[in-house]
Structure 1
Amino acid sequence: MHIRYFLALSLLPQLVLAEETTSAPDASIQCLVEPPVPRMANLDPDASELALQEIHIVSDRSEAQMGKQAKFNGNVSFSQGGRHIAADEVILDQESERLNANGNLVFQDQLFTITADSLVAQMRDNSAILTGAQYWLHGQQIHGDAENLEITPDNNLHLTKTNFTTCPPGDSSWLLEAETIKINSKEEWGELWNAKLKIGGIPVLYIPYMTIPVSDKRKSGFLFPTFSTSTTNGVEVATPYYWNIAPEYDLTFTPHYMSARGLFLKTDFRYLAGDSQQGQINVEYLGKDKMLSNNADRYLYHWQHKGAINENWRVLANFTQVSDNNYFNDMNSDIHSATDNQLSRVGEISYFEKNWDFSARVQDIKVLGEDEIPYQVMPQLNFNYRAPSLWSGLDFDLMSEITNFKHQENEFSTATRLHIEPSISLPIQGPAGSFTSEIKLLQTYYWQDHRGNPQNDELDDRVSRTLPQVRIHGKVNFERFTDYFNENYRQTLEPQFQYLYVSYEDQSNIGIYDTAQLQEDYYGLFRERHFSGLDRIADANQMTLGLTTRLFDQHNVEKFKFSLGQIFYFQDSRVGIKESAMSTQTFTQENTSNSVLAAELSTQLYQDWYMSGAIQYDTKQSENKKSEVTIDFRPGANKLLQLSYRYVPDLLNTNTNESVDIYQAGMRGAWPVSNNLYLVGNWYYDLNESRNIETYAGFQYESCCWAIRLSYHYRIKTNYEDDFNPLVDDRELFETGIYLNFVIKGLGGSGPLGVTGMLDDGLFNYRKPLYLKN
């Protein structure tokens, strides 16, 4: 049972690492807080220095003594440079260069708008003091009151006996009162002394000193702490410190104390390398975990880098290492979640030209919770060349790679593989359809060293494999206009076929280094390969037939799609993957006259009802090999009701190394109770084990200046066998938690994640079966 509550007041702005476009289907609710006075027009920013120093005064009445004092009354408008003052009365003392204004007073410049009872300004140094002030920061939701407000010569604000909020005027959901606030207009940060945070008019927190952002600029300092409690970790307190090292570097260091485990230290270092490269380094460490019987140290280190060196060169690096298999199940890591069980270690450099590209890559993958260790790619060199319309409409392509496979354990064989794959194709495309003929030559060389495993005598030291391949693919597009249920539609009928021939060669003398069997969904029926990787290339003499039909409405929106296909074998394939010392995985090629019958459906049933489904059916054995179906009701934004069912037979359980059948039914929903309050819930049930495997229920209330989320979780917990932790059998099978999140916007918090975040806050992420417009 977990109970979490924390006040999300993070002041850490985002370090912009790359320009990217993202979509926000349910962005946080925002307020438009504007001063209750019209914005005044600024002078031309390109005006000369002399023009910016000129004073412009307009009023209904005026009286003046030359060189002494001038008094203006009635709708007075005073402008100098980018500053403007509107008042009932303005007195300008030319001898002391002082300006007094009062009566319906409004002061405005490029950064803020202020209303006040009176104003005293010194013209000589451009400073001013306003009493009884109300202020609004332009471009921000921040506004507040001040007994006295001083504008310094360098255009900073000093406020005394003041407050501020991001809530609309008259809304006292939260208010921060302070004895003094200083806002630096250049640094765009504010400093507060002797501040009190009030929620609903009730003081809840005293802060002797703090800094706040008034823009997206970054600044070093402590971030707001987080607090939580749980039966697993005990009382938790985290106090992050943010260090703005330079415009292109920053670091966040977080001491995270867990009373049940110890002190968990997290460091996140981010950097920009020029205009087009970015990266981050993460280090996490927990010394002597008190929850483990051996009090072992837990740690993680992670490095990620990507970007472009120039217009041709690209680089990529990703490396993660953890102390044990259950690290992500036990620790609240910033890198991966508990459902991630693979750690990728990749380094790659690539060069791109118009018709060719080259890359060099090293790769190592650590699979958590499995005894089998994948091979390392050390390294892999790829060269690809493309020559479209080389001669008489013929396209020429060349794909080649040379890969060196190594293994961490000496008893496994190692190998170097060279693969060259030239192809010539003749594509013919038009509105009525397409027809493509293709010839390939698959030439592969292996140099294998199995001296570390002398019992593996079936592997040859050198192997040369030559396989010709012929592929013919055709598709025809038929259309007609029809009507269903008194609605006009355009219906398509898209039959397609593919003939594939790959010659046979005995490949049992080749080890398994990066090859696995591929799924046979509808689109997989038209693949050229039965296996991923190149260690096994299945022989083929087969015809694939497929048919797709669609319905488009009068606005050309797809309302219905159904696909059906199957492979017919003229000759049984004789190439498979057998169990050996090279791999614990077993794949065999069945002798059958046809593949599974694969079908997929996606449709808008009626108005706001949608359905999607897929099935793989063995017509020879009359067995369902895989099926899933979802039904959605989506009547509007953030409104969802979904029913789902999934069946997957013979799924390998890595913990027991036994096959299990998966029967799962699920429900999920999201519904707004009002404009600010909505509910989200998930429920998944294992029909095979007759048990609930996940329940999630939560509600979120969000206004423009604060938000709260309360959620309940009950879900199966991922646990791996791990010699690192002798108490693995004592781990709980299920995990229960209650979480409370409270966010005050305007103090660096951006609000909860919205409906999409709540739907994804579980083991099973939400995916729409169709993206159809109403």
Structure 2
Amino acid sequence: MTRPQFLILLACAACSPRLLAASLPADTWQCLPATDGGGWDCRPAGSPAGTAGATAQPETPEPPPIAAGESSPRTPAAADGARPAPITPPPDSDPTWRLCRPAPRPSAPLPASGQTHTYLEGDTAEIRQQEVYILTGNALAESGGERILAERLTYRDADGRLDAEGSLRIEQPDILVQGEWGHLNLAEDTGEIHRITYQMPQRHGRGVAEVAHQDSDILKRLEDATYTTCDPGRDDWHIQAREVYLHTDKGEGRAWHATLRIKDVPILYTPYLSFPLDDRRKSGFLVPSLGASEETGADISVPYYWNIAPNHDATITPRLMSKRGVQLIGEYRFLQPNHSGQLDLEGLPSDQEFDDNRYLIGFEHQARLSPRLSTQVDFLDISDRHYFEDLGSNLDDTSRTYIRRYAQARYLGTGWSLTGRVDDYVITDPSISTEPFQRLPQLLFRARPAPGWNPWGLDLHFNSELVRFEHDSRITGTRAHLDPVLELPWLRNAYHLTPGVGVSHTRYQLDNTATGDPDEPDLTVPYGYLDASLFLERDMRWGEDAYLHTLEPRLFYLYAPHENQDDIPRFDTGLSDFRFSQLFAVNRFTGHDRFGDANQLAAAVTSRILDPRTGYEQLRFGIGQLYYFRDRKVTLNPGQAPETRDSSNIVADLNWNLTRALSFNAGIQYDPEAEGIDRQSYRLQYRPDPRHILNLSHRFREGSLEQIDINGFWYLNERWHVVGRWYYSLEEDQLLEALAGVEYESCCWIARLAVRDFINSVTSGTAGSTGERNLAIMLQFELKGLTSLGQPVQELIEQSVLGYRP
């Protein structure tokens, strides 16, 4: 608070028995003893006699004590007309505190933070020596964004000192304080209050203290203090400390000789504790993580967070595993205006189970060097292929067979882009013996003229690649690829017609070839296509609701001559997974080492049901098939028999939003020759809101895969929540993953318990066997507004339940 510029005592016995005092310019008001001998006669300067009280402040109701969620009367506006500061919104709308009582509020809108004068009010008043004001009965003082209430206030104008006695209450935007008595200096923002109870509405925090010292406007000091985020009367947990410093400028608190108590039972003692007061990060030990699994035994991690700078931080975590030893995990992150990144280091010397050293090195970096030039690095190296199998924490880690690592730079021009890249793969599946090729380097140039540059309606696409393939034991070489495409699209509201022609040209310079094989083979395949779509629509009704129904037939004819490709090596090419979108692809292979010969027609139809007002898609169904007019002689590997079928499988996709909460997705491939389903996948999701999610999935691939995945997260009520997953392989007759968890939530804490049984290696076991399994028990205890104890069960729920978000 700042010292008032001038203070004039006002009293109007005729209007109210209360006494009002305000800081007003001396030439604005005149206050004289009333002619009837009681109270004061106040009028604007220069106004005629007899208008006493006409402009006096109206009566102000008595402000109530702290009452959660209670409405309050309006405090009289400051005399200079400054608008009162808004009340800090309580966190009632934050779902974190939905089970708590409403947060307390100031008794009335607080004065503006920039207010420089002091407003005083009380039932009775006494002035001593023209500078000491004694207010008794519902006394109030306001200035600089805060309000002070007490039974008795003594204010000294000379130095801004304010003494308060009886039911003292201080209201500030971020804290509400009650005490028995106190001394404050409004001019210097210092003082002390005795036997206090405080509440912090923004963080739902509260506590008590024997004495509170305000050393400055940014530093508060508490003696024999407690802190909790629980509701009054429910101290499920609290921190008790001998001395606490609150640094509001740094957003942190410091406590000495602090004890964490659960239901008055001491759980943790520390001679020094640092904790946040806002969202700013700070250095210190994080709560240990506790768990156990069959692979690691008892598993204890103690992370230390190092806030190096506002844009740099690191986490150093010693991890003790009873079966394996001590692992050290480090994570360093940095953030700059034009680039950011993360460095991960993990080391486990002399793994007791593996009998060797284990390590992981990871680095990620993204940078924008200019508005058009960007770079990206994603690097990972591990000591052995069993690393994730032994030390990973989820099925995603253990089920990966390759991890791609690369570094690239990309320049975006006007209508063109140039990308330079080097990449290779880390094998994480012990059953894989052949390593993929390295691309050292790869250059990609793509061009498409800017909109508006299409003479005669022509649309030009140009893709090209230059790449060097390296390998320790296989053929290596350089591949150059060019693929220009010219289209003439005719786009109308009712139809689209796009003819196009292109040329795929690939040339090689090879090393380590077999005797008699060419060193510089090349491949040139011209191709052409015609893409035609028709858009039909009609109004329809479904019950009492109106919808727009569309019918969108599409024909896609593709022609590419046969070129012998048996002499062409295969570096990075495979057969594309056949699905609905593949009906309209010009090449049935991925990569550029093969280009499929084609004389075929794709016939498909898509139908949609839309809400005509919002465009919301109620249903989308697509079905199609390829019709071949000749055999396909180009195969993935030399010597394979050509494809002689005259038609492909029938593929169909369905996306049906039965309601806003219930959706169904399906993909089917039907083999008309075998008269059976070759592949299928179904997913039914019920998600009325983020608190209730249920997924049921089935995946089938003839001869290789059939799986069922049931997972969900469900609020049984506001306090009890459950999570579960059952992921089963029917083909191998084994359980891939089972998860069962329960979560209990109160106002100020959450307990999560999860039991997880999962395959530790996707390649282990055969049909009818159990494979290598891992059983883990995970417990997490979260103290809201403070920290969490145990393993990250919430992250596990995110990975296991489709659609779940914390």
Worse-superposed segment, 735-744 or 167-176: 167-176
315-324 vs 621-630, greater mean Cα deviation: 621-630
Per mean C-alpha deviation after superposition, the further-off stretch among 171-180 and 313-322 is: 171-180
**Aligned twin of 1:463:** 521
Indicate conservation of the 8 Å contact 1:759/1:766, yes or no. no
In the alignment, the residues of structure 2 paired with residue 191 and residue 75 of structure 1 have an alpha-carbon distance, to the nearest angstrom, of 35
1:397 counterpart = 2:461: yes
CA distance change for structure 1 residues 702 and 435 in 2, over 3 Å: closer, same or farther? farther
Residues 156 and 318 from structure 1, CA distance in 2 versus in 1: closer, same or farther, beyond 3 angstroms? Answer: same
> What letter matches 1:479 in structure 2?
E
In 2, Cα distance between the equivalents of 1:633 and 1:303? 38
Q: 1:75-474 maps to which residues of 2 (within 5 A)?
A: 75-94=138-157, 97-123=160-186, 125-137=188-200, 139-272=202-335, 274-292=336-354, 295-332=355-392, 337-369=397-429, 370-387=432-449, 388=451, 389-407=453-471, 409=472, 411-451=473-513, 454=514, 457-458=516-517, 460-474=518-532
Does the Cα contact within 8 Å between 1:326 and 1:719 map onto a contact in 2?
A: no
Question: Which residue pairs with 2:670 in the alignment?
Answer: 617
- Structure-2 separation of matches of 1:606 and 1:188: 46
Aligned match of 1:549 in 604, 607, 610? 607
Do the aligned partners of residues 44 and 92 (structure 1) sit closer, same or farther apart at CA in structure 2, a change above 3 Å counting? Answer: closer
- Partner Cα distance (1:394, 1:32) in 2: 67
Supply the AA of the counterpart residue of 1:626: R
The match for 1:17 is none
- Residue 478 of structure 2 aligns with an amino acid whose one-letter code is T
Structure 2 stretches lacking a partner, 5+ long: 1-93
Identity %: 29
The letter for the 1-side match of 2:726 is W
Distance in 2, matches of 1:695 and 1:112, equals: 47
The one of 677, 680, 702 aligned to 1:649: 702
Shift of 1:746: 1.2
Give the secondary-structure state (helix, strand or coil) at the position aligned to 1:287.
strand
Find the aligned partners of 2:95 and 2:138 in 1 and give their Cα distance: 42
Q: Following the alignment from structure 2 to structure 1, what is the Cα–Cα distance between the partners of residues 395 and 454?
A: 47
Output the amino acid matched with 1:702: E
Q: Which one of the candidate residues 653, 661, 670 is aligned to 1:600?
A: 653
SS at match of 2:722: strand
User: How far apart are the structure 2 equivalents of 1:336 and 1:297?
Assistant: 23
Instruction: Give how far 1:521 is off.
Output: 0.8
For the residue of structure 2 that corresponds to 1:338, the secondary structure is helix
Q: Report the CA distance between 1:636 and its aligned residue.
A: 4.8
CA distance in 2, matches of 1:688, 1:720: 13
By how many angstroms is 1:609 displaced? 4.7
* AA at the equivalent of 1:103: G
Counterpart of 1:20? none
Q: Report what 2:782 is aligned to.
A: 743
In the alignment, structure 1 segments of 5+ residues that lack a partner are: 1-25, 46-50, 581-586, 651-660, 722-729, 769-774
Seen in structure 2, the aligned counterparts of structure 1 residues 754 and 560 have a Cα distance that, compared at 3 Å, is farther
**SS of alignment partner, residue 177 of structure 2:** strand
Deviations 1:595-654 (A, max 9, x none): 11101122245785543211112212324221122334445543344433221124xxxx
Say if 2:759 is the partner of 1:716. Answer: yes
Tell me how far 1:767 sits from its aligned partner.
Answer: 6.2
Is 1:697 matched with 2:697? Answer: no
Aligned-pair CA distance for 1:761 = 4.1
Q: Match of 2:711?
A: 668
Structure 2 residue aligned with 1:69, among 132, 141, 156? 132
Work out which structure has the larger RCO, using CA pairs closer than 8 Å and 6 or more positions apart in sequence.
Answer: 1
Q: Distance in 2 between matches of 1:507 and 1:579?
A: 8
Kindly indicate whether the alpha-carbon contact (under 8 Å) linking 1:707 and 1:751 is maintained by their aligned counterparts in 2: no
| Change over 3 Å in CA distance of 1:336–1:321 after alignment to 2 | farther
Given residue 699 of structure 2, which amino acid in structure 1 is its aligned partner? Answer: R
The 1:154/1:551 distance shift into structure 2, 3 A limit, reads closer
Letter in 2 for 1:303: F
Partner Cα separation in structure 2 for residue 627 and residue 230 of structure 1: 35
Whole-Å separation in 2 of the counterparts to 1:152 and 1:571? 90
Residue by residue over 1:230-287, the C-alpha shift from the partner in whole angstroms, topping out at 9 and shown as x without a partner, is 4432333322222222222211111112221111001111112x31310011110000
Say which SS state the counterpart of residue 582 (structure 2) adopts. Answer: helix
TM-score by length of 1: 0.84
How much does 1:356 deviate? Answer: 1.5
Residue 518 of structure 1 corresponds to: 576
Residue type at the aligned position of 1:602: N
Aligned length: 701
Aligned residue type for 1:311: P
**Candidates 621, 625, 628, aligned match of 2:681:** 628
- Seen in structure 2, the aligned counterparts of structure 1 residues 678 and 155 have a Cα distance that, compared at 3 Å, is same
Amino acid at match of 1:687: L
Return the letter of the residue paired with 1:135. Y
Q: How far is 1:320 from its partner?
A: 0.2
Q: Is 1:766 aligned to 2:802, yes or no?
A: yes
What TM-score, normalized by structure 2, do the two folds share? Answer: 0.81
Q: Residue 110 of structure 2 is aligned with which of 24, 32, 41?
A: 41
Q: Is the 8 A contact 2:752 2:793 kept in 1?
A: no
SS at the partner of 2:388? helix
